[in-house]
Amino acid sequence: MDLAELIDRHQIHQVLLRYARGLDRLDNALARSCYWDDAIEDHGHFVGTPDAFVTWADGTTLMFEATQHAILNHVCDLQGDEAFCETYYHFSGVTVEGPNFMSTGRYVDHFRKRGGEWRIANRVTLVEGTYDVPKAALAPSPQSAYTAEAPCQAARDRSDVSYHRPPVPRRPA
């Protein structure tokens, strides 16, 4: 494997990570930047353009207090300026009262490199499992470790600590 191939593979993986972050932080511009304009997203109950998908996904994830898209196993068949990838995912959505929601499956992607940039040209999302997950009886609230003086820094927008450069930790008591 040569350096150019390693760089291409890394850049493709970065697109997948940006996609997950964009959806979880409700950063629609970031999620949208992962697709070419002429792409089709075939995602379970949704089939359409990237713009329509991002709008649909934003509305869908707003029913949760928090979401996490985990990018897992990733296989990439690189063929010049095209790549054919299969990437496992794990999605979890936290609700106020439960049950929480979990989904597992795979993204089957066709990536294209245009003008030196990799983006999704087409995607088929295979949802292989959906699960209701009860709230744990002894699990603390996500906010319980924080006080009014030092609130939780997690947010589903650009105020989230992950956007801060540098991130600013809370001060020890």
**pLDDT tens string 8-52:** 999 999 999 999 999 999 999 999 999 999 999 999 899 999 999
Is residue 170 very low, low, confident or very high in pLDDT (cuts 50, 70, 90)? confident
DSSP reduced 3-state for 71: strand
Is residue 135 very low, low, confident or very high in pLDDT (cuts 50, 70, 90)? confident
Answer yes or no: is 128 within a domain. Answer: yes
Helix (H) or strand (E) holding 97: none
Answer yes or no: is 95 within a domain. Answer: yes
CA–CA dist 7, 56 (Å, integer) = 32
Can you tell me which residue has the tokens 């008591």? 173
Overall pTM surpassing 0.85 (yes/no): yes
Residue 31 lies in domain: 3-163
For residue 143, count other CB atoms closer than 10 A to its CB. 10
Answer yes or no: is 169 within a domain. Answer: no
Answer yes or no: is 171 within a domain. Answer: no
In this structure, what CATH number is given to the domain that contains residue 141?
A: 3.10.450.50
Counted domains in the chain: 1
Answer yes or no: is 42 within a domain. Answer: yes
Answer yes or no: is 170 within a domain. Answer: no
Answer yes or no: is 97 within a domain. Answer: yes
> What's the half-sphere exposure (Cβ side, CA atoms, 13 Å) at 124?
7
Please answer whether residues 128 and 87 qualify as being in contact, where contact means their C-beta atoms are separated by less than 8 angstroms: no
Answer yes or no: is 149 within a domain. Answer: yes
